[in-house]
Structure 1
Amino acid sequence: MRLLIDADACPVVDLALFISSQYEIKPILFCDTSHRIERENVITIIVPKGPDSVDFKLVNALTKHDLVITSDFGLAAMCLAKGAFVIDSNGREMTSDNIDQLLAFRYESAKIRRAGGRVRGPKKRTEKNNISFERNFRQICERAILAKKEGAKDEQ
């Protein structure tokens, strides 16, 4: 089982690496050449800078029951389609139940920006965000481990 992190602008890389090590989940960081993010004893996959280049590399590396950290709703939708567990850096899990609403929100926001309007950006990150991320990420790790075990039993 692996943890794939869309590491460009991800504020919880170190926290996620710490938690994933406790569950013996192998982390992989994905970033482009303008955001070289490397950590000791962690695989970092660096791709050429370009629109969605990190996203496509991450999705192609993904297998069922992997965990993904991203704040990109489009990437999250692709990961969910491949059977991954997806969470953003604030601890919000993205699922088949909420991804359509999140994508619709992204679409409407883009439409407003194209028309010259302004959309509120994210709130300033607080310690509360880290606490929420840690709590929810641990829960997702446990569910993913259980799902992988159950999947292995079904294949026998």
Structure 2
Amino acid sequence: MENINHVFVYVDADACPGAVRDEIIRYTDQVKIRFVATYNHYSADADQSLWTFIDDGSEACDLFILNKAKQGDLVITQDIGLASMLLAKGVYVISPRGKEYNQDTIETSLSFRYLYQQERKKGRFHGGPKKVTEEDLKSFSNLLSKFLT
């Protein structure tokens, strides 16, 4: 990374756990950070210099981030589909659990996502993702720190 001050960190914030958001905020003096969420997640207490709230829509945040992120930026998201499109643009992508997405493994991740979707349609899986653990948070913090240094 040539100049970290020109890098943006975009956060797909609709599904980003609070502990992860808190960890990201620790780096606001080093990089430009933009949390992106729909108005469903609006809070009057949110620091407007860090947050962008957009209209509802199942892919609204994804499209906003996809259109704004540039090569060399970092995006934090749980969305594997978004990650695959961003990787094609030369954007670095990590999950809130500390997993780095890359071109070598994204096809496998997309395949698993498809299989899980098929199983959910059959009623075999319920609920959302598991809560972020302390180990997940540590992995995320280490990866984010590595990226920013």
TM-score (norm 2): 0.85
Match of 1:14 in 2: 22
Q: Unaligned 5+ residue runs, structure 2?
A: 1-6
Q: Residue 46 of structure 1: SS of its match in structure 2?
A: strand
- 1:137 maps to amino acid: L
- Given that 1:29 and 1:42 are in contact with CA atoms closer than 8 Å, whether structure 2 keeps it comes out as no
Spell out, residue by residue over 1:102-137, the C-alpha distance to the aligned partner (whole angstroms, 9 max, x if none): 111110001111123226853332211111111111
Deviation by residue 1:64-83 (Cα, 9 ceiling, x = unmatched): 10010000001111111111
Q: Quick check: 1:27 aligned with 2:33?
A: yes
98-107 or 115-124: bigger deviation: 115-124
Supply the distance in 2 between the matched residues of 1:8 and 1:123 (Cα, whole angstroms).
Answer: 15
- Answer 1 or 2: which has greater helix percent: 1
Provide the rounded CA distance (Å) in 2 between the counterparts of 1:77 and 1:46: 23
CA distance in 1, matches of 2:131, 2:122: 26
CA RMSD of aligned residues (A): 1.8
Helix, strand or coil: the match of 2:124? coil
Aligned residues with identical type, % of pairs = 34
Q: CA deviation at 1:41?
A: 6.3
**Offset at residue 98 of structure 1 (A):** 1.3
Structure 1 length as normaliser, TM-score? 0.82
What SS does structure 2 have at the residue aligned with 1:19?
A: coil
Matched length: 140
Q: Does 1:68 align with 2:75?
A: yes
